Structure 1
Amino acid sequence: MATGRGRLLRQLCLGLQALHLPLGGLVAAPGSGGFRKGPGDKFAAGCTTPKQSTRHERNCERSSAHRSVSLDGLPSEILLKILSYLDAMTLLCAGCVNRRFYHLANDKVSGLGWVIILREKGGKEHIMEHVDLSINDSSVTVVWYGKNWPRLATLSALDLCGVTPVFMGRSKTTTKNGPRWHSLIAKYSLGDLPGSTVMGCDGIVRLLRLDPGLLVGLWKREEELAFVMATLHFHHLVERSTLGSAAVPSEPPAHTPPLDDSLEHGLHGFQLHVDMHSGGTSYLCSTFHNLFTKKGCIENGYVKLIAIRFNNNTEHLPLIGKVGFSWRTDIFDGYVKSCSIMDITLLDEHGKPRWCFSSPVSMSSSPSPSDGPNFLGQTYCVDYMDSTGQVHMELVWIEETEEYFIVSLVLYLSTARIHHRFGTRY
């Protein structure tokens, strides 16, 4: 999403100018999400022009030194007016800034959202609008539930799509029930549902995972759909939600970097951000800097990046709170232990994304307890795997404090995938 921030800022400035709001010396404050007076500008917003007296100029300079304007601090009415001048892609980008901007971007301005299309074996389609959404640190969680699900036995496939309006009124509001553009994000075969990864269960529902990033809840008694939940990582979310078609997903632009020997000499300077959360509750939000691999450290076609070492207890981290997946529908709600959503963002030494995903994960008990330097307890593991790599996390349950500690976190990157995506030799 970083590539869209400059464009978003320029669009917001155009919106301010369209409203005839004074910009003066306002510039983007790095890392602040707002505006401040530029170092080379002499006049703050609202001050007079150079034709005024020198004394008045000095007063303006002194007052501007103690005043800054935050974009997020503007009233909602002003922000809504500014957002009404933005196009659909910029609105999606704005909606990923924080929770307030998401709701503003969807308040009769853009009509943006996500749908699932359930396809019956006979060809009939059921389009389901999302009924709940939450914004996390690195992803968006979208949920569908209701009383009118088609029978699971009649379904063959599920399509996840982003939707944007085709036409906008003069006031930039969407036409109710008007045509919308569907951008396919992922397709899932519901015929494979019985063989999907089982994430856990409680007394009411059973959770199944369909890759990439889809969680399906089934009523245990009837084995029918209870809810569907998708976790969408922010990386390329705008493009995936708007630039595809109803049949073909958006593909990233062709990437042809020059060949280098980074794998031969080892990876270095990588940065990893990990989030674990559920239902608006964060269990872990940590960033690991300067990850590296040693020269020639390739095992079975993978390079290994270690974020947390088992033998170094100063690196061990606790999971905050009781880890579990909270779910709800219009009738029931519940809680499945030891499940959560994991968001992974791995950047290379240049700050470019190398691996980004959001997916449901679950803890499974290890066969034997770990005897670490300062603890003794039952161990658990969390594993994830896709075409880019693998994540392996080991945790220890501390009975005295009733919390999990992460004692090992290792990433395995596929050398073949790195070579294909980044042109490296190995």
Structure 2
Amino acid sequence: MATGRGRLVQHHCRGLRELRWPLGGGGAAPGRAGFRKDPSLKGAAGRNALQQYARWEKDCEKPPTNCSVSLDRMPPEILLKIFAYLDAATLLCTGCVNRRFYHLANDKISGLGWVIILKEKSGKEHILKHVDLSINNASAAAVWYGKHWPRLAALSGLDLCGAMPVFMHWPKTPSKNGPRWHSLIAKYNLSDLTGSTMIGCDGLIRIFCLNPGLLVGLWKREEELAFVTANLHFHHLVERSTLGSATVPYEPPPHSPLLDDTPEYGLHDYQLHVDMHSSGISYLSGTFRSLCTKKGYIENGYVKLVVISFKNNTEHIPLIGKLGLFWRTDVFDGYIKSCSILDVTLLDAYGKPFWCFSSPVCMRSPRSSDSPNFLGQTFNVNYMDAEGKVCMELVWIEETEEYFIVSLVLYLSVAKVNHWFGTKY
């Protein structure tokens, strides 16, 4: 079902389709002189066409309060931002409006792609286009691999950018070799990559995670780049990929603090959607509603939000299969156990995205555990950034050969909560 914004745009699209010049195939309407010169428009047909044109012209002269008249004149960047809110069914309707909307709605965001810029210590740069792309429930994963990587020891950093064609000529598709507008999404330091925390390995590669959401694979034998994967959450993805510059990332509009009408209850009516997946295989996809926490429930600068309680076994849920992360290059492919991609989308009581991310994670055996031993072997999956932490505890059930999530807790930064509501916890 379309969202509120989706229904609004769908209504506008219906209006545009009805206002299209019926004889023009979606293009601009001809002038009055065009009718007089057209030999096919004579007699009653000509009079009817002139009457339809007069009604169309009268509608266009109305004040621009009717968005359906001006929507088609918007630049493609704005239309792409609007289309990003639509579901598949609404996009299908949008593509029926005219030829321009058809291409915008059906050509994978009209030429949008992603590049990484590998920067050498000498100042030399290597710009590489993504070679593979997978779409998940809440994120996209862009992948780079090849045989001609620069040497890792010579690299100092990596820039992740969205790439849009500078020139768009409808209905023609953008040129693959034309100039591209780069929108910086994130910068990463590669000067000490092997010194950072490794999250997994197999017989051929080791993988490292760099926040936000970058997965880097190194060949074990040569200690050189094997692949790079950027995990991109859908929240503000179109804006981040198109509206920044090559040196400055997109900045969302300043946040206006929301009214906390029941501060005595703390956080309440939050909703969490969480996915764990790899290469199209879903290990977990769940939505948790009516999440809340009491006022003053703070630990070390974090507000604690319990999603799955260890003490309530009716909340415990299984994973589908065994966690593992699939990787591929142009030479080899493989599978790394106990790793996956974690997508988190946390909505506040107003349904607004409060905290969103997509990142590689790994499952590890804890050094010590408070869980009773009779449940089975326990594992932890943890994630942390500037806005919060995710702590997940799993138990391996030998009899059924499956993992159960027995605890899931979010820790939200008090600074983030105060900024969001304009309060002081």
Q: Same fold (TM over 0.5)?
A: yes
* Inter-partner Cα distance in structure 2 for 1:186 and 1:173: 28
Whether the aligned pair in 1 keeps the contact of 2:161 and 2:184 (CA below 8 Å) is: yes
Alignment partner, residue 322 of structure 2 = 322
Shift of the 225–19 alpha-carbon distance from structure 1 to 2, 3 Å rule, reads: farther
- The question of whether the paired residues in 2 share the 8 Å contact of 1:108 and 1:173 is answered with no
Pairwise CA distance, 1:108: 8.5
CA contact under 8 A between 2:6 and 2:85: conserved in structure 1?
A: no
Tell me how far 1:262 sits from its aligned partner: 5.6
Question: Do the aligned residues in 1 keep the contact of 2:184 with 2:250 (CA within 8 Å)?
Answer: yes
| Rounded Cα–Cα distance in structure 1 between residues aligned with 2:108 and 2:324 | 35
Q: Which amino acid aligns with 2:379?
A: Y
Cα deviation code 1:105-142 (max 9, x no counterpart) = 57488211111111111111111111111111111111
SS in 2 for 1:137: coil
- 3-state DSSP of counterpart to 1:141: strand
- SS of residue paired to 1:390: strand
Q: Is contact 1:95–1:104 with CA below 8 Å preserved after alignment? A: no
Residue 6 of structure 2 aligns with which residue? Answer: 5
Once residues 219 and 98 of structure 1 are traced to their aligned partners in structure 2, the CA distance between those partners, rounded to angstroms, is 40
1:5 partner letter: G
Mapped partners of 2:407, 2:244: distance in 1: 39
Counterparts of 1:86 and 1:327, CA distance in 2: 38
Matched residue, 2:130 = 130
After TM superposition, give the deviation of residue 286 of structure 1 in Å: 0.3
Structure 1 residue matching 2:192: 3-state secondary structure:
helix
1:121 and 2:104 are equivalent in the alignment: no
SS of residue paired to 2:174: coil
**1 CA distance for matches of 2:21 and 2:274?**
42
- Kept in 1, the 8 Å contact 2:6–2:87? The answer is no
Any idea what the Cα deviations from partners look like across 1:172-203, whole Å, max 9, x if unmatched? 42134211111100011111312322110000
Unpaired runs of at least 5, structure 1: 22-82
Structure 2, unmatched stretches of 5+, are: 23-71, 93-102
1:179 aligns with 2:168: no
Counterparts in 2 of 1:7-406, with a 5 A limit? Answer: 9=10, 12-13=13-14, 16=17, 87-91=76-80, 94=83, 107=107, 110-257=110-257, 260=260, 265-368=265-368, 371=371, 376-406=375-405
SS of structure 1 residue aligned to 2:389: strand
CA contact (8 A) 2:5 2:85 kept: no
Shifted more, 198-207 versus 94-103: the winner is 94-103
Shift of 1:265: 3.4
Distance 1:98 1:276, change over 3 A: farther
Change (3 A) 1:96 1:158: farther
8 Å contact kept, 2:387–2:413: yes
Contact 1:263 1:296 in 2 (8 A): no
Equivalents in 2 of 1:263, 1:208: separation in Å? 41
Count residues in correspondence: 364
Task: Please report the RMSD computed on the Cα atoms of aligned residues, expressed in angstroms.
Answer: 3.0
Please state whether the residue corresponding to 2:118 is helix, strand or coil: strand
Deviates more, 1:348-357 or 1:89-98: 89-98
Q: Distance in 2 between matches of 1:299 and 1:315?
A: 23
Give the drift of 1:369.
6.2
Q: TM-score, normalised by structure 1?
A: 0.78
TM-score by length of 2: 0.78
The answer to which of 416-425 and 332-341 deviates more is: 416-425
| 2:288 partner letter | F
Name the stretch that deviates more: 251-260 or 380-389. Answer: 251-260
SS of equivalent residue, structure 1 residue 363:
strand
Q: Is the 8 A contact 2:80 2:104 kept in 1?
A: no
SS at match of 2:191: helix
Any idea what SS the aligned residue of 2:408 has? strand
Most deviating of 289-298 and 3-12: 3-12
CA contact (8 A) 2:3 2:86 kept: no
SS at match of 2:399: coil
CA distance in 1, matches of 2:391, 2:418: 22
Percent identical: 65
